[in-house]
Structure 1
Amino acid sequence: MHNDARGRRWRSGRLSQLGSSIFAEVASWKREAMADGLHMIDLGIGSPDRPPLASIRSVLSEAVLRDDSYAYPAVGSGMPFKEAAAAWMHHRFGVQADPVSELVTLMGSQDGLAHLAMAICDPGDRALLPDPGYPIYGASLALAGVQAELMPLLEQNHYLPDLDGIPSSVWDGVKFILVNYPNNPLSAVADLSFYERLLHKAKKHDVLVVHDLAYSELAFDGCRPPSMLQLPGAFHHVVEFHSLSKSFNMAGCRIGFLVGNKEAVSALRELKDNIDYGVFTPIQEAGIAALKEAMAGDGRAAVSAMYERRRDAFINALRAEGWNVNKPKATMFIWAKLPQMNWDNGSNWSARTFSREMLRSCGVAVIPGEAFGSEGEGYVRIALVEEEARLQEAARRIGRFIRGDDRS
């Protein structure tokens, strides 16, 4: 065993601003639960539990065995994937994007989200971020030395920011505004009328809109989330992140893209050219296969339909157990207000306490809402990453916990 060094600290203080400590706490709760012998159902992390289609895996496996697949892929090349992504944008949204100048391939949308602020901002700049919001949004600003202006997303406003409530002085002082619909963790959706109002604000105040559209293909009950780039003139003020992780069960492959405003896309491409050599070519080829499947038929629809079935089975089971949870129109998540507890000690718990005690009591893991920002207090995020029977079992365990059946 080596003793810790007592001199200089080899750790940046910047790391304390990355992500949420609650995720680390939840991980420790899981380890404790497993050490205690609990059979855990993990509904915390939104990682798909199924593989991509066999046809996509076949393309990947064949490409991996080719001798010519192991050169540097290079960020600036990879035209076949960018052309497929541009074709998919036109097929899905009617959006015409130039794959050369208006699109850049990424190692997943999180890669782009982590680096975009560094590419388009200078230290001391400001940006508007949602609260609650996905943790990488704030972490990316910390890395870039950019200050966050938080927009509360409230249930009474359907989790949309109050654009008119943001002072003109704030609009005029920010470099970009980040929005995410369908939303993680809130599962809220937005329509084109909201995007029209947002684009009007962006034009008026010369602000870039960064739209995280990673969940565009996971929508239910006939909902078809639009792209903000569908709006006339949007390419002057909008960039949009897309991901193949959730829609095609390709989370481990790490592939996505940014599309939109040429200057912002070029800035991120230039930064990425200095950081890495691009996405492994066989993964790009698998991505092309996935996008072609979606354009030809049911690749996306099958995944979306699966999550819709899981949503219905789980929420119906929760309601039967006494937790009346709202049914989301999109994403792989349930954003649930804490239930009324039927025993005294649980009546005034925080989301963190509720999540910890539920995991310790019945072995079901969820994420406290405050992990995504202060406005998330009083809620939990539940990921639909188990089959229907397991989700129904989770609901039964949660019901016993809420009622206090297992307490002496």
Structure 2
Amino acid sequence: MLRITSQNSPYTLLQQRLQYIALHPDRPFTILIENVPQWDTPIQPVASKQPYICEYAPCNGYDFLLHGLKERDQSKYQSNVQNENILVTNGAMHALSLIFRSLYKPGGIALVQAPVLGNIADILKASGYQMVYFSSDQTEMLGQLEQLYTDDVRFIYVNTPHNPFGGILSESVVNQLVSFAQDRQVALIADMIYDSYTFEGNLTHSPLVASTDWQHLYTVNSMSKNYGAPGLRIGWITSDAENIKKLSGLCEAECVAISGLSQLQAYDLIQKGNDELVEIIRHRKAYVEQQLTKMENIQYTIPAGGTQFFVKLPVDDIDLFADFVLIAYGLALTTTSNYDGIEGSYIRVPIIHSVEMIEKALELLVKGMEEFGRLCSSDSVCNVN
């Protein structure tokens, strides 16, 4: 059976599949890869204004956007965040990279909630960290951290709502994590880029509400997921004012400033709000959940938040399967290979597409599993579980 991806490529398997699609422009594909929420109506660009093209923005961000982000988080969490507590970054990945590098010391250990997006693991490895994973199970999390902690730990990284499983850290666990980090004077980094998307009465909880001392507390967010605008490349860090000054200096040293036009568009989106987008995603989540119940031999947990289901399929080699359905059915999937700290034959089923597109994709997925199973019944390369 043909493979089109390789573990030896400098590109991720996901990117290799996208490159395969780009090489076949005349063929229709059903791309069930990304998990960025999609608006029903296109986002309208704001009118270009000359100053934002002809000047560098302040290295920490324009005041108008800082004010908009402050109001957003004050309204959502009733936190006491102020402009000086926020740094605008080139997306959430840039935000995390800045924090990781600012905290690094030789021999540093990062305690990381597993599984984690592979890009984040790559940044940590490139920055010199030793990664130690702890469980996303909230009943075990604090006990594991107690056992794993050493004096070389530089920070604890958590993701809420969690990518890919959609779990949301309870208020009690967030409070305990804050106390744990502050007692040991290590950083707690909360990645909250999906915090608008919660289901069935669940709520996200910010560490910045649990304490007035933010010296060791950082939250990261972005316009990509929460406002369906990945092309803006606008993220932000919220922390103690002295931490923000240090990170702003690092940001200036490596990229001077973030695009002023992107900041202007981000501010316009924040003023518009994302209630419409959130309701679209909740509707699509309900539809995906309904459709998954009809599929046999798959396993998944219903997410409390986020923009996807993480579904385990009955195949041994998930990347061989993903290559197969891309070639045979034009269905592009994201697999376990996109994450670190987890094994198993998982795919990501986003809840961000139209109902029509989701219906088509899941039909192709069922056909692909049936055909793959038939082929593998006589092929030792791809035994089915």
2-side partners of 1:52 and 1:216: how far apart? 22
Deviating more after overlay: 179-188 vs 370-379:
370-379
Q: CA deviation at 1:135?
A: 2.2
1-side partners of 2:152 and 2:52: how far apart? 49
Partner residue in 2 for 1:170? 149
1:125 aligned partner, one-letter code: G
Contact 1:218–1:303 (Cα < 8 Å) also in 2: no
Partner residue in 2 for 1:394? 361
Q: CA deviation at 1:369?
A: 1.4
Choose the corresponding residue for 1:227, options 193, 206, 215.
206
1:139-288 paired onto structure 2 within 5 Å: 139-153=122-136, 157=137, 162-168=141-147, 170-233=149-212, 235-288=214-267
1:92 corresponds to 2:76: yes
1:22-81 per-position Cα deviation (integer Å, ceiling 9, x unaligned) = 33443355457x48x763211112344448865xx35x2x2x143564211131451221
1-side partners of 2:265 and 2:15: how far apart? 32
Q: CA deviation at 1:176?
A: 0.5
Deviating more after overlay: 313-322 vs 388-397:
313-322
Partner residue in 2 for 1:71? 55
2-side partners of 1:232 and 1:269: how far apart? 23
Moved over 6 A (4+): 16-20
DSSP 3-state at the match of 1:404: helix
Contact 1:43–1:384 (Cα < 8 Å) also in 2: no
Q: CA deviation at 1:161?
A: 6.0
Contact 1:321–1:396 (Cα < 8 Å) also in 2: no
1-side partners of 2:30 and 2:280: how far apart? 19
1:310-357 per-position Cα deviation (integer Å, ceiling 9, x unaligned) = 22222322322434643322212211122x4xxxxx5xx132233223
1:166 aligned partner, one-letter code: L
Contact 2:116–2:341 (Cα < 8 Å) also in 1: no
Taking a change above 3 Å as real, the CA distance of residues 98 and 162 of structure 1, as seen in their structure-2 partners, is: same
2-side partners of 1:394 and 1:406: how far apart? 18
Contact 1:318–1:324 (Cα < 8 Å) also in 2: no
1:257 aligned partner, one-letter code: W
Contact 2:174–2:205 (Cα < 8 Å) also in 1: no
Taking a change above 3 Å as real, the CA distance of residues 190 and 234 of structure 1, as seen in their structure-2 partners, is: farther
Q: CA deviation at 1:361?
A: 3.3
DSSP 3-state at the match of 2:67: helix
Partner residue in 2 for 1:46? 35
The CA RMSD measured in Å over matched residues stands at: 2.9
Partner residue in 2 for 1:5? none
Choose the corresponding residue for 1:129, options 97, 101, 112.
112
Structure 1, unpaired ranges of 5+: 1-15, 294-298, 341-345
2-side partners of 1:105 and 1:51: how far apart? 27
2-side partners of 1:247 and 1:390: how far apart? 21
1:227-264 per-position Cα deviation (integer Å, ceiling 9, x unaligned) = 12111345232100011112222110111210023343
DSSP 3-state at the match of 1:246: helix
Deviating more after overlay: 81-90 vs 114-123:
114-123
Contact 2:61–2:88 (Cα < 8 Å) also in 1: no
1:104 corresponds to 2:87: yes
DSSP 3-state at the match of 1:223: coil
2-side partners of 1:387 and 1:87: how far apart? 31
User: What TM-score, normalized by structure 1, do the two folds share?
Assistant: 0.81
1-side partners of 2:52 and 2:276: how far apart? 33
Deviating more after overlay: 366-375 vs 385-394:
366-375
Partner residue in 2 for 1:27? 18
1:330-349 paired onto structure 2 within 5 Å: 330-338=305-313, 340=314, 346=315, 349=316
Taking a change above 3 Å as real, the CA distance of residues 312 and 122 of structure 1, as seen in their structure-2 partners, is: same
Contact 2:135–2:144 (Cα < 8 Å) also in 1: no
DSSP 3-state at the match of 1:39: coil
Q: CA deviation at 1:392?
A: 0.7
Deviating more after overlay: 239-248 vs 67-76:
67-76
2-side partners of 1:275 and 1:52: how far apart? 36
Q: CA deviation at 1:212?
A: 0.5
2:104 aligned partner, one-letter code: C
Contact 1:26–1:367 (Cα < 8 Å) also in 2: no
